[in-house]
Structure formats: structure tokens, C-alpha cells
Amino acid sequence: MTDPVEPIRSPVLAVPHAFFTRTGGVSSGTFATLNCSLSSNDSPNAILKNRARAARALGLAPDRLVGVNQVHGTRVVEVTAPWAPGGGPPADAMVCRRPRIGLGIITADCAPVLFADAGIGVVGAAHAGWRGAVGGILEATLQAMQRLGARKSRVIAAIGPCIAQASYEVGPDLREAVVGRGAVYERFFAPGRRPDRWQFDLAGFCTARLQAAGVAVIDRIEADTMTNEARFFSHRRRTLSGGGPIGHQISIICAGLAAKC
């Protein structure tokens, strides 16, 4: 019997949402089991079944789940109607106020960030790798929500499972890019285990950027995608083990005011 999906929910988000683990899907091998990445080399049929399982866990019709072609940039798109699986534009965040639409973000170490102004049913979902976070994807998502009527004072954000600082060794190029945005960000780098290396706190950096943008309530799901192989896919873990194909987990948030999608 297939295990059930494992939705992780934030106590601060008062709209239907979940950060899913890799548990509860139908994929096998290195994609086992809830691989939801349409760009992977997994069986297309298995991927669609996995995405449908995640959608249904939120009471969402599978054909109402949308995603984008994530490119580690800062583009945000407004979703006004569902599109076909794989038909999303190149972007790294979505915003929506139409009911019964689920915004899906794919990750395997980067930070999935879900936003909501529950008072009017406007939501956002962002893929925050270090490049996107440095470039301003979180601030751009917040601004796009405001254009839909969200009020910054009411927006709540939750940062989902991502690679933890202890697992995220980085080189001088990444450190220079981050600290180049402000010396205040030096605090997110701890000494590395090797010379000229540092341990980067991605979730902490995202939190700081959200706070500076005016988000008052921010939740962080404390789970390290790199070290917890049983629950999460991880690019860094794949790299350390020699490469090969890998799956991705999905995080979903639903627009509208209903208790369910």
C-alpha cells in the first residue's frame, strides 16, 4: 500500500496550503516517491499522479494546480486561470486572488515561500534560491500581491523546508553577491569547514529580506532538506553523492476565502 502524502502546514497561514515532503507518491528509483517536477526525467504519468495526490490533499482539483518554469530569477506572474501542466511561463513566483486555484512551487534545497493576505484571499508563492533571494524575488512577490489589493500590514509569510546553514557550504562568489547587497548580511555566514568557505543561512537571509520589506509575521519550518533523505529531495545531497537524476517536492497555496480550495 502506498504511504499517504505528508503535508507540512504553517500555523500562521489561514488559507489552504502545504509544504509536501517526498512521501506518498508513485514514482520509483531516485524519484521515489512524490516527485512533482515536470522537468525531471521521471515518468510523466507518475509525475501527474503525484501532483494530483498533493492537490487532492488540499481539496483542490488537480487541473486547478499551476506552476511556472522556474529560472532562478525575479519575475512574478499573476494567475487568473489555470493552464495545462508544464504550460507556465518562465518565472519564479506567482500571485493570485481567484478562488480554487493552487500555486505550486518546486524545490529540492531552495526555499519555498508562501504568502497570504487572508483578509481578501490574495496569495503568493515564491521559489527562493540564493540568486532569486538576492535579486529580490520575495519583495517582487509582495509588490505583486499589493497590486491585487493585499495590504502589506496583513500579509503573512511562511518559509518551507530548505537546506540548513550547517549543510550549505558556499564559496566566495556567493558570499560576495550576498554581502554586496549590504554588510548587514554578513551575519548569515558562519565559518566553513574549509579555508575560503562559509556556511550560508538561506532561511535566515530570506527572513531578513521579508522583514525589511515590511512583513510582520514570518514563520519558518525548521527542516533540513539535505540531511533528511527519508523526507526530502536535495540537490546538494545528490551532488555530494556523485550526481544523477533527482526528484523535487512541491509546496502549494490556494487563493480565495474558502476553508478548502
CB 48 within 8 A of CB 25: no
Query: At 67, which amino acid appears?
Result: G
**What are the structural domains, with CATH classification, of the chain?**
7-164+201-254 (3.60.140.10)
pLDDT in tens, 174-229: 999 999 999 999 999 999 999 999 999 999 999 999 999 999 999 999 999 999 99
The fraction of the chain above a pLDDT of 90, given in percent, is 96
Distance CA 242, CA 239 (A): 5
Q: What is the mean pLDDT of the chain?
A: 96
Residues above pLDDT 70, as percent of the chain: 100
| Averaged pLDDT, 56-85 | 97
Between CA 87 and CA 85 the distance in angstroms is 5
Segment 81-95 shows an average pLDDT of 97
- The Cα–Cα gap between 84 and 245 comes to 24
Is the CB of residue 19 less than 8 Å from the CB of residue 8?
yes
Mean pLDDT within 61-88? 97
- Is residue 28 within 8 Å of residue 239, measured between CB atoms? no
Check if the beta carbon of residue 17 is closer than 8 Å to that of residue 26.
no
The answer for residues whose C-beta is within 8 angstroms of residue 13's C-beta and 6 or more apart is 114, 116, 118, 156, 158, 219, 253
Q: Is the peptide bond before 74 cis (omega within 30 degrees of 0)?
A: no
Confidence bin at 2 (pLDDT 50/70/90): confident
All residues at 6 or more sequence positions from 220 whose CB lies less than 8 Å from its CB, including other chains: 158, 159, 203, 207
pLDDT at 107 over 70: yes
Q: What is the pLDDT of residues 19-49, one digit of tens each?
A: 999 999 999 999 999 999 999 999 999 999 9
Contact (Cβ atoms closer than 8 angstroms) between residue 31 and residue 40: yes
pLDDT 10s digits, 240-259: 999 999 999 999 999 987 77
H/E stretch holding 128 reads strand 122-128
pLDDT, tens digit, for every residue of 166-176? 999 999 999 99
In 73-121, the DSSP E strands lie at 76-78, 93-96, 102-107, 111-117
This prediction has a pTM of 0.98
